Amino acid sequence: MKYQIFCFFLLLLSTGFSQGFLAPTPTKTLDTVKLIVTYSFTFSPDSLNPENKNEVDVVLFIGSSISLYQCLNSFNREQFLAGSRNLDEFKQRARQGPTSTFPTKIFKNYPQGMITTTDRIMQDSFIFREELNQFQWEISNQTTKIGNFKAQKATVEFGGRSWVAWFTTEIPISDGPHKFNGLPGLILKLYDTRNHFVFDYNSIKKPEVPLIIELQKLRYIETTKANFRRAREAFRQSVINETFELLTDPNSRRVAAQNMRRSNNPIELSLE
């Protein structure tokens, strides 16, 4: 029994606490999707072992004035669950459908001039806002070819990291993955100078069927980025403490400590 509980705690940590049960909820329509950009997102969850990489696909839905960035599997899961005809079918689909790597959603220019982020810690939903225009880019004359596009280099300091972006004015949309925006064209490639986080665009296309950008109407806990990060770390630490209480074997504790230390490298290092 102790082993089962221990594995459960490790699962919570490794999935970023993103597998909570989500019943169908009403939504608020924000915009209509005009363009879909997918990126391959490669990242190092452990700063002490940066060569150990994870990779997921992420997606940027661009509307007329608002965009939404999220994990592609999260979107696919939502679409899969949305087809449920009743609660029993929803529960069955929830067990069978694609799993989400992380539940974070980032809405740019919602409300106007702001970035709104929604996220989860177990069953609690959080929401916080930041200024949209927070990126002080330095644009270089250096250019290269990325796919069929001519791309130009730009650099910025953000979240405690130094970033390099390659954007194209051939798609004059001031947007990109995660929270990045403010350049005179779409970001095709983005990476920090330590190569812990790398975004490479996979595809750019118009939606084949009508899609909307929507915000779930949940009982959000209004917070700030700094306070959300503190709450997530406090929860993570409580899981670690409870796990250690369950383990009496020194070797098991050592292995558990090693596993838990591996998730120590957030994309934004600074709290503010």
pLDDT digits (tens, 9 = 90+) for 6-41: 343 444 444 443 344 445 578 899 999 999 999 999
- 13 vs 182, higher pLDDT: 182
Stretch 47-63: mean pLDDT, rounded?
90
User: Exposure of 258 by Cβ count < 10 A (0-12 exposed, 13-18 middle, 19+ buried)?
Assistant: exposed
Looking at residue 45, what is its pLDDT? 85
The pLDDT of residue 40: 97
Long-range contacts of 77-82 (CB under 8 A, 24+ apart): 81/22, 81/24, 82/24
pLDDT of res. 218 = 92
Q: Alpha-carbon distance 181 to 248, whole Å?
A: 49
For residue 56, the SS3 value is strand
Output helix, strand, coil percentages for the chain, rounded to the nearest 5: 25, 35, 40
Asked whether 196 and 214 are in contact (CB, 8 A), the reply is no
Query: What single-letter amino acid sits at 70?
Result: Q
| % residues pLDDT > 90 (the chain) | 60
| Separation CA 183–CA 165 (nearest Å) | 9
The stretch 55-80 carries a mean pLDDT of: 88
Convert the pLDDT of each residue in 235-262 to its tens digit: 877 776 776 666 666 665 556 555 556 6
Q: How many CB atoms lie within 10 A of CB 66?
A: 20
pLDDT of residue 223: 97
Under the banding of pLDDT at 50, 70 and 90, the label for residue 170 is: very high
SS3 33: coil
The residues spanned by each domain of the chain are 2-132+199-222
Closest to 175 measured CA to CA, from 76, 67, 56, 256: 67
pLDDT at residue 161 greater than cutoff 80:
yes
Mean pLDDT of 158-173: 97
What is the value of pTM for the model shown?
0.82
Give CA–CA dist 101/128, Å, rounded.
20
pLDDT of residue 85: 46
Instruction: Say if residue 86's pLDDT is above 60.
Output: no
Which of 16-20, 111-115, 226-230 has the highest mean predicted lDDT (pLDDT)?
A: 111-115
Looking at the DSSP bridge assignments, the partners of residue 144 are: 151
